[in-house]
Amino acid sequence: MLKQACNVLLIGSKFMGRAHSNAYLNVARFFDLPVTPVMHTIAARSRDETEAFAEQWGWHNATSDWRLAVENPEVDVVDVGTPNHVHAEQAIEALAQGKHVACEKPLAGTLDDARTMLAAARKARRCKTFVWYNYRRCPAVALAHQLVKSGKLGRIYHVRAAYLQSWGGPDTPLLWRFQGKLAGSGAHGDLNAHIIDMARFITGDEISEVVGAIEHTFIKQREMIESAGGEISGKGAQRGKKRMGRSTVDDAVLFLARFKGGAVASFEATRLATGDRNVNRIEIHGEKGALKFNFERMNELEWFDATAPGRVQGWTTINVTRGDDGHPYVGNWWPEGHIIGYEHGFVNMAADMFQVLGGRKPTIPIPDFADAYQTQRVLHAAIESARNRCPIRMTQVK
């Protein structure tokens, strides 16, 4: 068990850096934790920007040298919130230093990197690992998991999942997310990773085969801004020469799959779903009932009870805000009917992390490197299926 104060090092200060910082700031204020996170150090590339970030978000120390920070004996947990291509290097070094590691999703940019990270985690037996699949921590998704686990759906027939965004149009510059050497993949690794994890989590089942897939890049050239130092940046850059660069990732990936338990499934991820801002949607249909969830209405779970008399059957909208009635997490937040938002999923995730580090059980299962590696295998199988135009059994993906 860790000491009462748990010192956290966060690597990365952009979008996920803010989301994680907010979680660490608030988690002990809303949850009774056996150990309390201390915002010890923030590490990022620019010293000046990192110091400003530390002051704004409450980090005690700031550095541009993540390796030196990882070696600090005062640090207990290393949180990797950087682009996908450096997840392996940073996580493996942290594990070698005896630190617990929390890593952003997907686990890595490539299956090889993910495999190496898993091996490092298994070697560092005393170190806990966590992966930030934050949508598991939406109370409605957690409730869906509990309903399926209790047998409310019975045998599962169909899983339909889609993650639809529209921000990746022709005017979006060549950010790191459009560069294969940094991101590994595009909408697939960014968005399909979430819905693969969510489908595995809710059903409690594993995908056994990717039957077929489509991978497509619609926008092959994007505007890039190259600074004097040769670094590529996106919107907001004030200096540097503008030119076009090649996008080397997918804009959309769709695939069909089978689960070990016999269910069939479809998955779709795109950044070019015009009109859809952040539609993270899943449907699960079983012999006794069905569930529907859409993150744009994250406090609601649609439920159909096929065991009810026919005269009263119909879809029910559950407002998942009643902690006193057993809705996960929300009892730590506001009175019933007072909805929560995106940032609360990260706080809920942090709460479960520190419950585990304090020797308690999480509210719902929390993904470690071994769990996230299974999602990485499915991501890899889908691309193999798309490029080779053939089914891929998961036994073929090691």
Question: CA 79 to CA 107: how far, in whole Å?
Answer: 12
Question: CA 340 to CA 319: how far, in whole Å?
Answer: 11
H/E stretch holding 48: helix 47-57
Residue 236 pLDDT greater than 90, yes or no = no
Written as six digits, the tokens of 124 are 């560092």
Residue 273 pLDDT greater than 90, yes or no = yes
Do 5-131 and 136-341+361-387 show the same overall fold? no
Q: Stretch 250-272: mean pLDDT, rounded?
A: 98
State the fold for domain 5-131.
Rossmann fold (3.40.50)
Higher-pLDDT residue of 241 and 95 is: 95
Domain coordinates in residue numbering, the chain: 5-131, 136-341+361-387
Question: CA 202 to CA 282: how far, in whole Å?
Answer: 10
pLDDT per position as a tens digit, 116-134 = 999 999 999 999 999 999 9
Residue 179 pLDDT greater than 90, yes or no = yes
Q: Stretch 212-237: mean pLDDT, rounded?
A: 71
- Residue 97 burial (CB count, 10 A): 17
Indicate the DSSP class of residue 9: E
- Give me the pLDDT at residue 237, please: 40
Residue 228 pLDDT greater than 50, yes or no = no
Of the ranges 185-199, 224-238, 259-273, 296-310, which one carries the lowest mean pLDDT score?
224-238
pLDDT per position as a tens digit, 310-330 = 999 999 999 999 999 999 999
Averaged pLDDT of the chain: 95
Residue 344 pLDDT greater than 80, yes or no = yes
- Residue 304 burial (CB count, 10 A): 17
pLDDT band at 224 (very low <50, low <70, confident <90, very high): confident
- Give me the pLDDT at residue 4, please: 87
- Give me the pLDDT at residue 2, please: 45
Cis peptide before 83 (omega within 30 of 0): no
Question: CA 106 to CA 190: how far, in whole Å?
Answer: 7
Q: Stretch 84-108: mean pLDDT, rounded?
A: 98
H/E stretch holding 116: helix 111-123
Residue 295 pLDDT greater than 60, yes or no = yes
Burial class from Cβ neighbours inside 10 Å (0-12, 13-18, 19+) for residue 25 reads: middle
State the fold for domain 136-341+361-387.
Dihydrodipicolinate Reductase; domain 2 (3.30.360)
Q: Stretch 191-212: mean pLDDT, rounded?
A: 98
Q: Stretch 284-291: mean pLDDT, rounded?
A: 98
pLDDT band at 226 (very low <50, low <70, confident <90, very high): low
Its sign, for the CA torsion 383, 282, 202, 103, is positive
Question: CA 294 to CA 207: how far, in whole Å?
Answer: 22
Percent of the chain with pLDDT over 70: 95
